[in-house]
Structure 1
Amino acid sequence: MTQTTPAPSQDDILALIGSQLHLEGPLLPILHLIQQSYGHVPQIAVPLIADALNIGKAEVHGVLSFYHDFRDIPAGRHVVKICRAEACQAMGGTAVADHALQRLGVEWHGTTANGAVTVEPVYCLGLCACAPAAMVDGRVVGRVDTARMDDLLSGVGA
């Protein structure tokens, strides 16, 4: 479950960046620390990171957009990830995903109006033998059909 955190300040972000500069290749550790601290990597952090590492803002943005676990806006209190890989699709995962999106009234990467749930696609949870699979707040669940998805969503307030 994600937590509500205070709005990021430039000084706080600079302190987080500074705490990781001793590392070799500090970009990913910096991004992870900022996201852990705020629940996302706010746009204000991008130029600060770029300046501290003497790289371009485009490079920071490229890393942020390449790794799907980084967010530029906060997620809901709960995150539901639904596998979109071939094995899960072959076992009915598309119908499960469509059902969840319709029930929540959101598109992929969307958050419900009440802020309870963010739903995201993921491309393989490693549970291919128990497809279709989903992940709720970091807990992997296999053999998910629409009824089980309804139970999972009810459990997170959706």
Structure 2
Amino acid sequence: MLAQLLYQYQDQPGGLLPLLHAVQADFGYIPADAVPPIARAMQLSAAEVEGVISFYHDFRRQPAGRHTLHICRAESCQAAGGEALVAHLQARLGIEPGQSSADGELTVESVYCLGNCACSPALRIGDATHARVDIARLDALLDSLLESAS
């Protein structure tokens, strides 16, 4: 699967980002052992590829949970109580943004704007954006996700 992607993108100018997105789409993350062949195919150093992966927050270095919760940490959401939501997530789930639950059901990721500033604080679960989220609503969303897992 990786070899096919490398072949598809290796001759494209500026093809590294589309290649990394394709690798993540196929594998669910960018495996460490994929970096050297990606670097060779794109005629870059492994350090350059690692630099791009670490610069963009969308790229994962580990498999994500079955559900991903993106919590906005931008200024508007912070001012509206977003950091309290982050603290509640950490207390309830025992994980920090960038980590996945032990059962593999949920990954929490920080994002720095969901484009929903007028309705802060906001979070996204899958493709659904939730606005004006308070702790009670966050708990209801988590309960619904975790019930669907059992």
Please name the residue that 1:152 is paired with: 141
How is 1:27-66 mapped onto 2 (pairs within 5 angstroms)?
A: 27-66=16-55
Q: Which runs of 4+ in 1 moved over 2 A?
A: 21-24
Please name the residue that 2:8 is paired with: 19
Sequence identity of aligned pairs in percent?
49
RMSD: 1.1
Name stretches of at least 5 consecutive residues in structure 1 with no aligned partner. Answer: 1-11
How is 1:1-158 mapped onto 2 (pairs within 5 angstroms)?
A: 12-157=1-146
Q: TM-score, normalised by structure 1?
A: 0.89
- Give the length in aligned residue pairs: 147
Letter in 1 for 2:19: I
Name stretches of at least 5 consecutive residues in structure 2 with no aligned partner. Answer: none
Q: Distance in 1 between matches of 2:42 and 2:84?
A: 44
What is the deviation of 1:72?
A: 1.0
Letter in 1 for 2:10: L
Q: TM-score, normalised by structure 2?
A: 0.93
Q: Larger deviation: 138-147 or 21-30?
A: 21-30
What is the deviation of 1:29?
A: 1.1
Letter in 1 for 2:47: A
The structure that is helix-richer by fraction is 2
